[in-house]
Every structure is written in C-alpha cells, then in structure tokens.
Chain A
C-alpha cells in the first residue's frame, strides 16, 4: 500500500477499533456484575472443596492413621486401651471400638488442607467441611480438640487399665509359678502405653 493509503487506512482503522472496543464496554456496563457482596451474600463453594476439618469422634477408633498421613503433623492423637469388661460400642461401619481417645487435637493453623488424612480413615470419621471462615485473633484458639472425654473419664479409664494390667501380670506370674521349667522372660508382654 502506498504511504498515503496507509495513513488514511490507519486513521479509519483505529477509529473503527475504538468504536468496537467502546461497544464492548458499554455492553458490560449494563450486564450483571460477576462479583457478590461477600459477607452478606456468599458464593456456593464446590462440593468437593477442602476447608476446615471435622472429626466425628464417636466413630473414631483411634487408629492414628490420619496423624501418620499428615504431612505437616498437625494431628495429635492419644489413646488408652479399653479393658475387656467395657464395651465402647460400634462405629457406624460396625467396627468394634477398642481404644479410648482422650485426645484428638488438630492444629488448624498448621493444616495445609491437602486432605491426605481423610482417605486412610477406616471409619470415615475425619472429613473436610465447607466452613472457611474461622479466623481468630489468638493462634491457640486454632487448635481444635475433638475428644469428648472429660478428665474424670480419662483418669477412670487409665486406672481401670492399670488395674487390669496388674491383674494380668498377677495371672501370668501364677502361670509362671506353675510351670517353672520355662526360662524367665526378660520383658513384660503387655506394654502399657
């Protein structure tokens, strides 16, 4: 194209493109906005979104698998063995519970929302909920305790286990005394945790 032609072409082309652009913006001026007024209006979050963890402690069998799966070690679990005379009930999946869970703490401040703790759980009792607004001014408030055992219950459970262990040890000693041929074992068989 000759120089003069390019000059006029450029002018009209730029005018045309400006008009095209302005048409687009005026269209958007009257469309509904894509944003919402957040605290009052909330957007629906996806079904499988990973947010705050929740533990259904009634189903927990204290297997510690979630704690082991956690890449940032934010789950701390303590367990106490139950004695044969108490029945802790069944989980929703008909698994027999054998352990008390006196402590099930999740430090949600450390949690990286990877969801790795959810999959190993045999009873599906640790889940990710859709709650995402839980900011606190004190970091300690972000350590969630899910255990529902009171201190008295914990002490009782520990005492019963101790008594049971002693009884078992006494029984074993009696058996040992009855059969003295076997060499004395150096370590006790029951490991009280």
Chain B
C-alpha cells in the first residue's frame, strides 16, 4: 500500500466516523461540530479526485457558511440544546423501505459505473479557468437560474428581517 492509499483511507475514516457521530450523537451541538470533520474529510477526497476547486469550495461553503449557520441556529435556540435529540425508531416500515430503495440505487450505481482509476494523472490542471469558462458558456442558463434563485432568497430574507413600519395614525 503506498502513501496515498493510506491517506485516502484516513480521509475516508474521518468522513465516515464523523458522519456516524452526526447521526448517532445525542448532543445536538456535538453532532453539529462533528459535521466539520465530515465536510473536511469529503474535501480531502475531492483533492484525491484532482478536483481542487471543488475541494476548496467545499471548505468555503460548507464549513465556512453552512456549518457556521447550523451552529448559530443551534446555539441561538438555547432551550433546544439540553433536550436530547430523538434517536428512537418511529415509523419503522416506511423508513426501512425508503432506506432499502436508496441503498439499492446507490449499490446499483456503484456496480454499474466504470471506475476509471488512472494513477498516472498526477499533475493538477488549472481547473478554475475551465470551470469558469464552462459556467459562462455551456452552463450559462443553469448558472443564471441559480443566481436568480439566490437573489430571490436574498430579497426574501431582507423582506422578513425588515423592521415593520408602524402605520401612521
């Protein structure tokens, strides 16, 4: 086993272990913090896939944005913290069915995909310019739609957060 394989398994272990803590932890804050390691591990695996841009974006958006947002949400709703998160089983049958279907799909994809393992590809190409060009040419429409959706979300948030003006008597 060479070094890179070992590092890959370390990242995989970090991701899976942290994900398990997220799911099984009874302490909701710890679960949120465990998410950090899960995101970090996933970013590491992206690096192994030679997707450096995606890896850093993963760190920036998930760790810097979404995780902090979740933590804020958890911490600001103080009475929620000391309530143990429910880990009991409810509605066993539908849950099992959905999980089985999902697992089946994933395993199916896993077997049918042609995993193109190419260890010769070592030099990281300049991915950022390529992604940028594709976003502004081939995938311009989805890109624009995503920005419009985000703009709508922003305006909506500003609208909700706006202080209501009292009607003048």
Query: So, do A and B actually touch in the complex, CB under 8 Å?
Result: no
Binding site for B on A (CB under 8 A): none
Query: B residues bordering A, Cβ < 8 Å?
Result: none
